[in-house]
């Protein structure tokens, strides 16, 4: 079969019908139900030529859609001259096979679309390894279908029952062994990456770290650029950021912190993808504070907030301090919706990362959360104590500085310090007197 990463689904430029089965209790309207899938396939470059939505308690075991909706989908595929059907649901291998036999078109599910987008956007070696691992783990159970599936997507026939019988069992077993060997290799390589990243993160114990988390396209990268001036990619696309970026942020009335941007989350993010990106999210797992960035202009904001907390729990993030940042307030048409979010989630801050509105209030809240209170101190040390001066530059707000002798070898500095950082202060040749 070769490298599945190289044999991407090539969904770009395809004419597709979108389909999905939703539980009525989920609260989606017919228009809202496929809104996120529209965004995903738009990012993947797909042309949507029709949609089918069905509300039922559970998807049909064999074909996901019920028999009536399936006949309706067949007619729509034919009339719209669609080249493929993309489901918002994550299909089982047997559901995918049944649908392709009935519709005689390639069937793509939600996980495949997300994997395809990730494969396109991966830039670093680590991200490419993570995406390849997720793809292999997903496709391993779908090998039999993938042979004819890839053939159809590539234009190798019109499909249909008996159109391309696929490889024999011997070839499938060979493919499985090759995939298993590659999965084992990738896991070993990513474990080494995770160990290195964990050591890097642990080595920052003397520095405060803040991580941006949130739903994809919530504006995390725009916020990072606004706060740090960093040259990070900012695009109005889902999953524009796959790799963690860390930059220095000088927080007024507190000091310097390390600010990290992380990959965005979506509803029903493929499990294998979450698992393989665990090392990328190491920054969030060890952060002193999480800034949960929310697109407050989205009508689906509450569901997106719940999704982020669910994924954070899944990857083992147990950070006690999370500040909800309601972004894109300049796009909000109904202010009462933001008021409801603020009331429901307590301590929040409203901003527009694009315009800069509210960033001072955000910095003040971050300083208050991180400091756990400040102390006033007088510090006496030698003028050659470069390590201490560098630490004070990062973490202290200096009030005054006087030299204690004519040779200017000793200095006394009055400053304001965050309590949380006191234990990390270099104390060699240093006397600290707390004033308050």
Summarised one tens digit per residue, pLDDT across range 2-13 is 443 334 445 556
**pLDDT tens, 136-154?**
888 887 776 555 544 454 4
> Could you give the angle at the alpha carbon of 32 between the alpha carbons of 27 and 35, nearest 5°?
135
Q: How many CB atoms lie within 10 A of CB 150?
A: 19
Mean pLDDT of the chain: 80
As a whole number of angstroms, the distance between CA 350 and CA 332 comes to 11
Query: Which class does domain 205-370 fall in?
Result: alpha beta
Question: Does the pLDDT of residue 329 top 70, yes or no?
Answer: yes
Tell me which architecture the domain covering 372-434 has in CATH.
2-Layer Sandwich (3.30)
Question: Does the pLDDT of residue 404 top 50, yes or no?
Answer: yes
Each domain of the chain, given as residue ranges in start order, spans: 15-174, 205-370, 372-434
Between 5-19, 61-75, 300-314, 418-432, the lowest mean confidence (pLDDT) is in 5-19
* 107 token code pair: 């069937």
Name the pLDDT band for 375 (thresholds 50, 70, 90): confident
Q: Are 19 and 65 within 8 A, CB to CB?
A: yes
Between 59-63, 116-120, 225-229, the lowest mean confidence (pLDDT) is in 116-120
Question: Does the pLDDT of residue 107 top 70, yes or no?
Answer: yes
As a whole number of angstroms, the distance between CA 253 and CA 374 comes to 10
As a whole number of angstroms, the distance between CA 216 and CA 304 comes to 9
Coil, strand or helix: which one is 162? coil
**pLDDT tens, 246-283?**
888 988 877 888 898 877 788 777 666 676 666 566 66
Question: Does the pLDDT of residue 353 top 50, yes or no?
Answer: yes
Query: Which class does domain 15-174 fall in?
Result: alpha beta
Q: Are 105 and 85 within 8 A, CB to CB?
A: yes
* pTM of the predicted model as reported, rounded to 2 decimal places: 0.69
**Identical fold at 15-174 and 205-370?**
yes
**pLDDT tens, 230-253?**
765 555 444 444 456 788 898 887
């Amino acid at each position: 079969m070769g490298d599945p990463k190289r044999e991407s689904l090539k969904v770009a430029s395809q004419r597709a019908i979108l389909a999905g089965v939703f539980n009525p209790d989920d609260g989606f309207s017919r228009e809202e139900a496929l809104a996120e899938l529209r965004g995903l396939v738009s990012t993947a470059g797909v042309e949507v030529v029709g949609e089918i939505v069905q509300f039922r308690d559970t998807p049909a075991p064999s074909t996901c859609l019920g028999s009536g909706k399936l006949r309706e989908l067949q007619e729509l595929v034919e009339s719209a001259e669609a080249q493929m059907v993309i489901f918002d649901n994550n299909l089982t291998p047997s559901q995918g096979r049944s649908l392709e036999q009935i519709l005689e078109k390639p069937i793509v599910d939600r996980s495949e679309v997300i994997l395809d987008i990730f494969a396109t956007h991966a830039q670093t070696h680590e991200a490419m390894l993570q995406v390849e691992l997720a793809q292999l783990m997903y496709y391993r159970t779908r090998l039999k279908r993938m042979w004819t599936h890839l053939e159809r997507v590539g234009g190798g026939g019109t499909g249909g029952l008996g159109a391309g019988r696929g490889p024999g069992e011997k070839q499938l077993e060979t493919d499985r062994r090759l995939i298993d060997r590659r999965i084992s290799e990738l896991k070993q390589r990513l474990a080494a990456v995770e160990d290195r990243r964990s050591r890097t993160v642990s080595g920052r114990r003397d520095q405060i770290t803040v991580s941006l988390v949130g739903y994809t396209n919530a504006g995390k990268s725009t916020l990072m650029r606004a706060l740090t001036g960093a040259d990070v990619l900012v695009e109005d696309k889902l999953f524009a950021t796959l790799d963690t970026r860390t930059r220095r942020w000088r927080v007024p009335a507190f000091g310097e912190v390390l600010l990290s941007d992380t990959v965005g989350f979506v509803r029903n993010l493929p499990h294998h993808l979450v698992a393989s990106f665990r090392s990328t999210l190491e920054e969030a797992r060890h952060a002193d504070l999480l800034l949960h960035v929310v697109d407050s202009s989205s009508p689906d904001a509450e569901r997106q907030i719940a999704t982020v907390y669910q994924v954070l729990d899944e990857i083992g993030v147990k950070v006690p301090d999370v500040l909800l940042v309601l972004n894109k307030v300049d796009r909000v048409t109904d202010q009462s919706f933001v008021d409801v979010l603020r009331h429901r989630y307590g301590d929040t801050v409203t901003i527009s990362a694009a315009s800069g509105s509210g960033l001072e209030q955000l910095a003040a809240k971050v300083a208050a959360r991180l400091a756990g209170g400040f102390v006033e101190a007088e510090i006496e040390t030698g003028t050659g104590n470069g390590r201490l001066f560098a630490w004070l530059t990062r973490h202290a707000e200096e009030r005054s500085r006087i030299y204690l002798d004519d040779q200017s070898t000793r200095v006394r500095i009055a400053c304001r310090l965050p309590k949380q950082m006191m234990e990390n202060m270099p104390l060699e040749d240093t006397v600290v007197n707390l004033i308050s």
